Structure 1
Amino acid sequence: MSLGSKIRANSAFEQQNFKRSGLKGLTFSLLLSTAWIAQAPQAFAQQYQFNSVQINGNQRIGDSAILSQAGIARGQAVSAGELNDAFQRLNNSGLFESVAIAPQGNTLVITVVELPTINRISFEGNRRIKDDALESVISSTSRRVFNPTQAEKDANAIAEAYSNDGRIAARVQAKVIKRNQNRVDLVFEIFEGQNVEIERLSFVGNRKYSDRRLRRVLGTKQAGLFRRLVRRDTYVQDRVEFDKQVLRDFYFSRGYVDMRVNSVNAQLTEERDGYFLGFNIQEGQQFQFGQVSVTSELANVDSDVYSDLIKIKPGVIYSPTLVEADIARLERQAIRDGVDFMRVEPRVSRNDRDLTLDVDFVLSRGPRIFVERIDIEGNTTTLDRVVRRQFDSVEGDPFNPREIRQAAERIRALGYFETAEVNAREGTSPEQVVIDVNVEEKPTGSLNFGASFSNTDGPGIAISFAEQNFLGRGQKLNLIVSTASDARRYGLTFVEPALLGRDVSFGLNLDYSEENSSFSTYDSTRLLFRPSLTFPVSENGRLQLRYTAEQSEVTENDDAEQGAIIQNDIDAGSLLTSSVGYEYSYDTRRTGLDPNAGVLFRFSQDFAGLGGDQKYVRTVAKVIAEKKFLNEELTIRGTLEGGAIAWSSGTNRAIDRFILTPTQLRGFEPGGIGPRDAASDQNDTLGGNMYLVGRVEAEFPLGLPEEYGIRGGVFYDVGNLWDLSDVNLGGNAVDGESGSFRHVIGVSIYWDTPVGPLQFNISDAIRKEDYDREQKFEVTLQTQF
């Protein structure tokens, strides 16, 4: 429908437009007809020459600008066809509502009616998308000439924005309201319509993986309980195209190299308020690695040396990630050996009989192409160096396409940009390339206000500020203020991920906390200062070096009477602990070697005694392993952690020792197990110098509709906390100094909500001590290891 049927003004304005348009066409037609009839035999040679040009009706646009647009000069001989061309140029300039050209003797009379200017632009009926967002969609602006064609395009652009938001029934009409001084108000009347959700997301052709598992892969989601809050359950064509690639990557990483997405069918429901979205896929067969070899086509490169670097083993499920990891490993070795322009080409041979893929890594000489420069555009806030340091190559280095692809992935993984495109083009010569990086930034900061409730600390409020790209430098800054009935915390965390341009992360942690525990007869305060440096030591390993200064104090709780042991801790007053330490972590998830399994190992030690009042060695180790079974429907996760403190001097207080929390051993209150002061009013927990905890849990679907986001689980925990050596007991009675292993079984409910994944635990301690404090039910925010 043309905009003429959409734009409405008062009747006088419409009649005037009609008269002007009619006169314009009639005047020009009569002139041409008269000239043709009068001199038909010489019409092809008809010439006009004007000594003067008279322009009428223009107010804002000058005479010279109109003549320039028409292309006619005074005294110039023009034909009837050239007059028609001048008329068309003026009419199509987008500046005039109507144009008339009339020769009158030696004078050419040009009469124009200027299009009005836009006084203001407004939107009516929009609630889902705010005015600021709509203004960024349209091209019409205030104080510019009103263009009906552009207004129609703007109306379509607004409708498309609503369609991308899932409201395909949205209608937009552009209307003009005439004002004085040849001005108009442009109003976009919007009927948003209902949100068209994806009622059903299904798959055809999948035999290995269930619909439930594949739905978790896609960015598009099926409408569920929180459809008002979750915005990914609407149909967006671009998102569906991305999901097709995600599906292919999912299958490829699991050895299904023949997987194809044949089609995607989006069908509207009869009520036109929802979509049935179906993916028609072909899985194919799963392949494994066969023979893996290295062949060198370079005289100065020994293939046997590089064969030792290959980590792929025959019989392992084929994955492009493993191939890429070995290629990177070989190319890094070539750089260390001083072999420039070496390319590693994986040549894959298919064995359909035994469903294996033989991979031969061919070492060859690549073209002598250098990186001329790296151009970065679109980063209005982020500094160039933040993007540039994601490249292993710099200007003048040999060009490696694989490194450029990996750099593009690292740029996208930063989370600073809405889109990030990295392309290579020829530079000033065929031997040089220019790397173009085009990014579109997005907000990276957040300010959160919220209320919380914890079984441990009671109700409270929390205010937090987080900036992932502080001042555009790629730095992370977090501020938190948390107050609860039993605990208060104020903290600042700062991270510089690339100190001095190196792969070294600098962190600074400042933290102040007060705890008025309802689980003990004493309170405590802590002030912590901890700078650290973290850097890689292997492909999957990282090492952190840190210094910690902590001022802590045990104080009296006025509502209870403390025992002699806790009183000794209170009498010690405020103590300063100064320590240096390290933490080594090994994480196979960094390289994604196995999409169905992962291992995380941490080992740390802190040596207190570099000044301060305490001297000890604290050692903590933790290992977590996860594996998915039954076509990734069942997840088994195991955790083993422990710690020990060896004291040399200072006061061995309860707040310095290990105290187990429900996140470590479920089924008990914080400090619910371990040595206790039998003489205190509340049988205070004293902590322990040693602990050991093991956890095994299984997570599985419950058969409920996927859109509910609810899964089930079972767990078994076992743990112990013991040892009070170097503690001044003073002959006081202590329960559980030697300790015993407690055993807990329970069930879990995992619920994915817009505020995060919640976990509900119901537990039962099948082996415990009489003085232990159980906690049979708890709600936590589920964490991923």
Structure 2
Amino acid sequence: MKTSVGRFFAQGLAKMRSLWMALCIVVLATGAANAQSFAFSSFEVEGNLRVAEGTILTFGGLAPGAGLSLAELNTAGQNIRASGLFESVDLIPQGNRLLIRVVEYPTISRINIEGNNRLNDAQLLALVQSQPRRVFTAEQAEADTAAITEAYARQGRINASVTPRIIPQSDNRVDLVFEVVESPVTEVERISFVGNRVYSERRLRRVLETKQAGIFRFLVGRDTYSPERIAQDREALTDFYRSRGYIDFVLQNVDVSLTRERDAFLATYNLREGQKFSFGNTSLSSEIAGVDAADFTDLIGVRSGSTYSPVPVDVDITRIEREAAARGLNFVEVDARLSRNPRDLTIDVNYVLVSAERVFIERIDIEGNSTTLDRVIRNQFRAVEGDPLNSREIQESARRIRGLGFFEDVSVDTRAGTTPSQRIVDVNVTEGPTGTLTFGANFNTDNGASLLASYRQSNFQGRGQRLNFDFSTAETNQSFGFGFTEPQLLGRDLRGSFDLNYGTTDNENALYDTETLRLSPSVSFPVSEAGRLSVFYALEYTSLTDVSDDASIIIQEEEDAGGVWTNAVGYNYSFDSRRTGVNPTTGYVLRFGQEFGFGDTQFIKTTAFAGAETSVLNEEVTFRASVQGGLLNYQEGSSRVTDRFFLGSRLMRGFEAGGIGPRDADTLDALGGNAFSVLTLETEFPLGLPSEYGITGGAFIDYGAVWEVGETSTATVLSNDAIGRAVAGLSIFWDTPIGPLRFNFTEPLDVQDFDETRNFDVTISTSF
């Protein structure tokens, strides 16, 4: 029979109270005054089953013949109770003998969780501090109850109830049972803002990690209330405004309340935006004798008239301090002194070179990394033991450690060293999961539906290495990928990678199948704050198989060559302004690469991409523009359909797969081209729907072409020239919890006779 913990111990408390009153009566009846002392020649203990008599006397500090006052006798009883082993303790003087009557707490036989479905037994038992074969206490049981209740609250189930029960067993043992009544998720029903004039609620909600419950509330995890997530949102909202010039922005408070039915949260962000400031004059001066500020003036990147943000200021400071260190000027810091001009809403920035405290790093202590090796964390520090201490660089190192993504929490602090001129850097981390196993599905109108599986480990064996396996199978193709990356090759800022990819196609829209294998080791490294260069070697095998007799003579001739192995070396350069975060509303990306084939097959393959994006109308509308192209030039050998460029809907919308470009005049097989180029202009804008739906609209124009098959035998090739095609269209973007969906409705503006157009396509990608 289950007995509630409260009733069980209420009865014990009443019993203890009555026995204590009896003790007082006995003492008064024998004429013992408060000043009376006792001397007991013997002790008798009753009620102890597991605890030895000697142990109890030791707890109380009792010894035969020792004189005890009434206060000391009371203290002895309190000490025995403080052991936590007894439900009640009574000390009853009987002449020269002291009777100690105890009632031991029961021992826990088993601990069970009942009624739980959302959290399994292993998850909940890990929170319980009560243990089998140990003494049961009501206080610990109540603490365990609170821990389980809190675990459900973190999942958004704040109305879940947990009741501890005890089931008496023989030999003063009990079974401890936590009865759980789970509740539905208490969602964040509404997120609202008070005091926002510049940015709409829809735009501000996109900044927050917490999401408002929408039509997919049964799938979204971020629409549950979490105090930790709200704290992150406060910082994110503050960073959002201040990076856009609102330096006086204040988030006054976040009011979170429950509805009357206690089935949903209402979150209200009360804020004061302030006014928007721009950069005014910038200058650089020096307060260090012998250091000329003019030597560093060219390093200032902030420009007058641009929107104020602390990010470019921090970038300038870091750039100047590093240059000073490179010139051998240690213990130099840059103090950015800001001067407001309220009349024209500008901020003047004066970078001042000042002397820093002459302090060195004594050592770097790292704690909390049970899996990650120390060197992985140390590699994020630009300085080592014995170097001058730069507080800004320490903060940057902390950001880099957080950026690894290995840790749930990171703190980096300094404390006094063994001498006044030394500091110890303490790094405390809390490790989090770094591996993911993903199963998913993908659909697009080019390749149909496909199933995906991938495993990714971003901290392989605690060395900071990345390992990934990817597999996908679809109606028309299958692929397998393996990748391994060492981010600190040879202990330097060199990223070494090894990639292996294998794929086959079973083309339903072509009369042949393909097989490709590519193995490519590479090394990449930064060449500027936003630029990166990689060099690589590639070994590739391509094969055409199962070519139909009805296929193009060009493809049949390419099949006769059998499987072809190629060797190549190359490089890729990328420049991404978003890496610095200097302008949060505008970014641009440049990519350029070349691959040089050598050996029996010699070629140069060049690809380039340039894209830009900007947000206007208080970031409600986004404009994107991109231009990209490729050129494949063979000196020895010739290209095949496995090598040439094809324009699918990912690059050029409004066409079937292989529906644009050169094709055999007799069979109309798509042949691809040795050159292509595409220009895309696109905009995305709100449709006036509630933001929790995640639906926006878009419009686009694509203009592009693919051309030049190369030398052929007797076949006639259609559309082999660089003749551009143009399509326009409308898009609907739907950001769902199961993946982003995009619906494109297209209308051809300028196409060729043999092109295969498409008026609608849809893509969806999901993982679970």
TM-score between the two structures when normalised by the length of structure 2? 0.96
Per-residue deviation, 1:571: 0.4
1:253-300 CA distances to partner (integer Å, 9 max, x unpaired)? 011011111222223223221122111110000011111111111112
Aligned-partner residue type, residue 577 of structure 2 = T
Per-residue deviation, 1:401: 1.4
User: Does 1:651 pair with 2:610?
Assistant: no
- Residue 501 of structure 1 is matched in structure 2 by 491
Aligned-partner residue type, residue 741 of structure 1 = G
Aligned-partner residue type, residue 324 of structure 1 = D
- Residue 573 of structure 2 is matched in structure 1 by 584
Q: Measured at CA, do residues 429 and 109 of structure 1 come closer, stay the same or move farther in structure 2, by a change above 3 Å? A: farther
User: Does 1:661 pair with 2:648?
Assistant: yes
Moved more, 129-138 or 532-541: 129-138
User: Does 1:54 pair with 2:44?
Assistant: yes
Q: Measured at CA, do residues 228 and 6 of structure 1 come closer, stay the same or move farther in structure 2, by a change above 3 Å? A: farther
Aligned-partner residue type, residue 629 of structure 1 = V
Per-residue deviation, 1:8: 5.5
Per-residue deviation, 1:330: 0.6
User: Does 1:404 pair with 2:389?
Assistant: no
1:18, 1:601 → 2: CA distance?
A: 77
- Residue 25 of structure 1 is matched in structure 2 by 20
Equivalent residues in 2 for 1:343-382 (5 A)?
Answer: 343-382=333-372
Task: Decide whether the 8 Å contact of 1:8 with 1:176 is kept in 2.
Answer: no
Per-residue deviation, 1:19: 7.6
2:426, 2:720 → 1: CA distance?
A: 66
User: Does 1:709 pair with 2:694?
Assistant: yes
Aligned-partner residue type, residue 646 of structure 1 = N
User: Does 1:34 pair with 2:17?
Assistant: no
User: Does 1:686 pair with 2:676?
Assistant: no
1:241, 1:647 → 2: CA distance?
A: 58
Moved more, 478-487 or 628-637: 478-487
Per-residue deviation, 1:20: 4.7
User: Does 1:750 pair with 2:733?
Assistant: yes
User: Does 1:417 pair with 2:400?
Assistant: no
- Residue 519 of structure 1 is matched in structure 2 by 509
The structure 1 residue matched to 2:468, chosen from 465, 478, 493, is: 478
Task: Decide whether the 8 Å contact of 1:32 with 1:80 is kept in 2.
Answer: no
1:74, 1:372 → 2: CA distance?
A: 58
1:4, 1:329 → 2: CA distance?
A: 69
- Residue 98 of structure 1 is matched in structure 2 by 88
SS across alignment from 1:770: coil
Task: Decide whether the 8 Å contact of 1:689 with 1:723 is kept in 2.
Answer: yes
Task: Decide whether the 8 Å contact of 2:443 with 2:764 is kept in 1.
Answer: no
Per-residue deviation, 1:335: 0.9
Equivalent residues in 2 for 1:464-475 (5 A)?
Answer: 464-475=454-465
Aligned-partner residue type, residue 535 of structure 1 = F
Moved more, 771-780 or 209-218: 771-780
Task: Decide whether the 8 Å contact of 1:418 with 1:439 is kept in 2.
Answer: yes
Q: Measured at CA, do residues 627 and 18 of structure 1 come closer, stay the same or move farther in structure 2, by a change above 3 Å? A: closer
Per-residue deviation, 1:138: 2.8
The structure 2 residue matched to 1:767, chosen from 725, 750, 766, is: 750
1:692-727 CA distances to partner (integer Å, 9 max, x unpaired)? 1011110111111111111111111000111123x2
- Residue 144 of structure 2 is matched in structure 1 by 154
Unaligned runs of at least 5 residues, structure 2? none
The structure 2 residue matched to 1:439, chosen from 410, 429, 432, is: 429
1:677-701 CA distances to partner (integer Å, 9 max, x unpaired)? 1222xx1111111111011110111
SS across alignment from 1:446: strand
Task: Decide whether the 8 Å contact of 2:153 with 2:160 is kept in 1.
Answer: yes
2:39, 2:733 → 1: CA distance?
A: 87
The structure 2 residue matched to 1:596, chosen from 585, 593, 613, is: 585
Aligned-partner residue type, residue 24 of structure 1 = L
Q: Measured at CA, do residues 706 and 4 of structure 1 come closer, stay the same or move farther in structure 2, by a change above 3 Å? A: same
Per-residue deviation, 1:378: 1.8
SS across alignment from 1:737: coil
The structure 2 residue matched to 1:671, chosen from 647, 658, 682, is: 658
- Residue 303 of structure 2 is matched in structure 1 by 313
For these two proteins, the number of residue pairs brought into alignment is: 765
1:373, 1:229 → 2: CA distance?
A: 47
Unaligned runs of at least 5 residues, structure 1? none
- Residue 722 of structure 1 is matched in structure 2 by 707
Task: Decide whether the 8 Å contact of 1:24 with 1:98 is kept in 2.
Answer: no
Aligned-partner residue type, residue 701 of structure 2 = Y
2:3, 2:207 → 1: CA distance?
A: 47
- Residue 562 of structure 2 is matched in structure 1 by 573
Task: Decide whether the 8 Å contact of 1:7 with 1:173 is kept in 2.
Answer: no
Q: Measured at CA, do residues 39 and 446 of structure 1 come closer, stay the same or move farther in structure 2, by a change above 3 Å? A: closer
1:117-143 CA distances to partner (integer Å, 9 max, x unpaired)? 212222222222222222233322222
1:583, 1:530 → 2: CA distance?
A: 13
The structure 1 residue matched to 2:685, chosen from 700, 714, 720, is: 700
Task: Decide whether the 8 Å contact of 1:158 with 1:172 is kept in 2.
Answer: yes
1:67, 1:271 → 2: CA distance?
A: 56
TM-score between the two structures when normalised by the length of structure 1? 0.94
The structure 1 residue matched to 2:540, chosen from 550, 553, 566, is: 550
- Residue 121 of structure 1 is matched in structure 2 by 111
1:39, 1:128 → 2: CA distance?
A: 61
Task: Decide whether the 8 Å contact of 2:443 with 2:763 is kept in 1.
Answer: no
Moved more, 529-538 or 750-759: 750-759
The structure 2 residue matched to 1:385, chosen from 366, 375, 388, is: 375
Moved more, 97-106 or 575-584: 97-106
Aligned-residue Cα RMSD (Å) equals 2.0
Task: Decide whether the 8 Å contact of 2:3 with 2:167 is kept in 1.
Answer: no
- Residue 239 of structure 2 is matched in structure 1 by 249
Aligned-partner residue type, residue 730 of structure 2 = V
Per-residue deviation, 1:246: 1.5
2:50, 2:625 → 1: CA distance?
A: 78
Moved more, 58-67 or 549-558: 58-67
User: Does 1:738 pair with 2:721?
Assistant: yes
SS across alignment from 2:642: helix
Per-residue deviation, 1:102: 1.7
SS across alignment from 2:647: coil
Equivalent residues in 2 for 1:103-114 (5 A)?
Answer: 103-114=93-104
Per-residue deviation, 1:333: 0.4
Per-residue deviation, 1:337: 0.6
SS across alignment from 2:299: coil
1:172, 1:686 → 2: CA distance?
A: 68
User: Does 1:191 pair with 2:181?
Assistant: yes
Q: Measured at CA, do residues 63 and 295 of structure 1 come closer, stay the same or move farther in structure 2, by a change above 3 Å? A: farther
- Residue 760 of structure 2 is matched in structure 1 by 777
Aligned-partner residue type, residue 742 of structure 1 = R
2:312, 2:254 → 1: CA distance?
A: 30
2:159, 2:24 → 1: CA distance?
A: 44
- Residue 623 of structure 2 is matched in structure 1 by 636
Task: Decide whether the 8 Å contact of 2:442 with 2:764 is kept in 1.
Answer: no
1:91-112 CA distances to partner (integer Å, 9 max, x unpaired)? 2332111111122233322222
Per-residue deviation, 1:654: 1.8
% same residue: 47
Q: Measured at CA, do residues 337 and 462 of structure 1 come closer, stay the same or move farther in structure 2, by a change above 3 Å? A: same
